[in-house]
Amino acid sequence: MARVAGALTAAGHGVTAAPTEGAGTAGEIARERIASGADLILALGGDGTLNEILPGVAHTDVPLGLIPAGTANVLARELGLGVNALKAARRIGECVPRRIALGLLRCEPGPQSRHFLLMAGVGLDAHIVYQLSLPLKARLGQAAYWAAGLRELTRKLDEFEAEVNGEKFTASFALASRVRNYAGYLQVAQRASLLKPEFEFVLFEGASTTRHYGRHLAAVMLKRRENVRGISFLQGHGMSFSGQPGTAVYVQVDGEYAGRLPASVEIVPDALTLLIPPEYIKD
């Protein structure tokens, strides 16, 4: 934090450091700083930290910027900022504010609603997030997610119903994404963009175990996703999810556990001012 603050000060910014005091405190800190006159909120952390800040900056005119210091740093990679915190701090002056949409999750049990910036996942990846050992994540970083995923290889997946644009699907994994990047390295939702007020939905249908996901993963890595049976790609502004009786299907947003089905996601237009490198806007 001290090195990043020093780099920002050297670039002419007036910086006040405000360390979080635990989970769930970042949004209130941002809200208090804005009320005190802050004209920019910078998140030094990962995608989960960004998600926690959203309640404090959403629906205000104060921009939110990112200094990557997390596990996967999906947003930093998506925007082309890289994952070096000092280099990203030195580029803050180049970034431009753009008004973008946010996703909104409504989920039970849990908070009545929750904004998200990047994506919501239902089923497989949310189960991995739910089961993830936090000490293991602290020790291994992103490798902890892959280790948790390997443990799922023989587990039977619970299927659920997803409805979008009046059409119903049976799926074991659904992704509502605002970004192309997934897990830091994969481009799953290839038509998604933070600059579009819509989701790209990716639905993995009809699976009973996770073994066939190796085929899906290979297709994504080879950019041949359209030729794999059992995956649907759609665009839209909202989707609802309902589980089978007696099953517990989990939901994650921006890489953090968020609750269980039933749930829905929707687009909230014109909800956040985000600092974006100019090359992302031209992409």
Supply the CATH number for residue 204's domain. 2.60.200.40
DSSP states along 71-111: SS-HHHHHHT--S-HHHHHHTGGG-EEEEEEEEEEEESSS-
Predicted pLDDT of residue 214:
61
Q: Are residues 36 and 150 in the same domain?
A: no
For residues 275 and 269, the answer to whether their CB atoms sit within 8 Å is no
Asked, for residue 279, whether it belongs to a domain, the answer is: no
Pair (118, 240) in one structural domain: yes
> Based on the domain organization, do 76 and 131 belong to the same domain?
no
From 94, 113, 136, give the residue that closes a domain. 94
* Same domain as 158, residue 56: no
Shared domain for 63 and 131, answered yes or no, is no
pTM over 0.85: yes
What does the mean pLDDT of the chain come to? Answer: 86
250 domain residue, yes or no: yes
Q: Which residue has the tokens 């790609």?
A: 233
Does residue 134 lie in a domain region? Answer: yes
Q: Which residue has the higher pLDDT, 28 or 210?
A: 28
* Residue at a domain's end among 52, 72, 94: 94
Cβ pair 201, 235 in contact under 8 A: yes
pLDDT digits (tens, 9 = 90+) for 151-182: 666 667 889 999 998 999 999 999 999 999 88
**120 and 224 in one domain?**
yes
Residues in the chain: 283
> What's the CA gap between 258 and 268, in Å, rounded?
18
**Among 94, 111, 139, residue at a domain's last position:** 94
What's the CATH code of the domain at 6?
3.40.50.10330
Identify the pLDDT of residue 154. Answer: 63
Distances in whole angstroms, Cα of residue 108 to Cα of each of 27, 111, 261, 262: 21, 7, 6, 6
Assess if residue 277 is contained within a domain: no
Let me know if residue 116 belongs to a domain: yes
Give the pLDDT band (50/70/90) at residue 110. Answer: low
283, part of any domain:
no
- Any idea what DSSP says for residue 208? S
Q: Is residue 281 part of a domain?
A: no
Q: Are residues 127 and 218 in the same domain?
A: yes
Same domain, 64 and 138: no
CB burial of 112-124 (b: ≥16 within 10 Å; e: otherwise) equals eebbbbbbbbbbb
Q: Which tokens belong to 217? A: 């993963």
Instruction: Specify the higher pLDDT residue, 177 or 228.
Output: 177
Instruction: Report how far residue 54's alpha carbon sits from residue 92's, in angstroms, rounded to the nearest whole number.
Output: 19
- Does 235 lie in the same domain as 107? yes
Q: Which of the four pLDDT bands, split at 50, 70 and 90, describes residue 140? A: very low
**Domain total for the chain?**
2
Query: Does residue 156 share a domain with residue 261?
Result: yes
Pairing of strands 238-243, 160-164: antiparallel
**Domain membership flag for residue 240:** yes
Bridge-based pairing of strands 256-260 and 250-253 is: antiparallel
Do 206 and 125 sit in the same domain of this protein?
A: yes
pLDDT at 136 over 60: no
Domain range for 61 is 2-94
Whether residues 116 and 54 share a domain: the answer is no
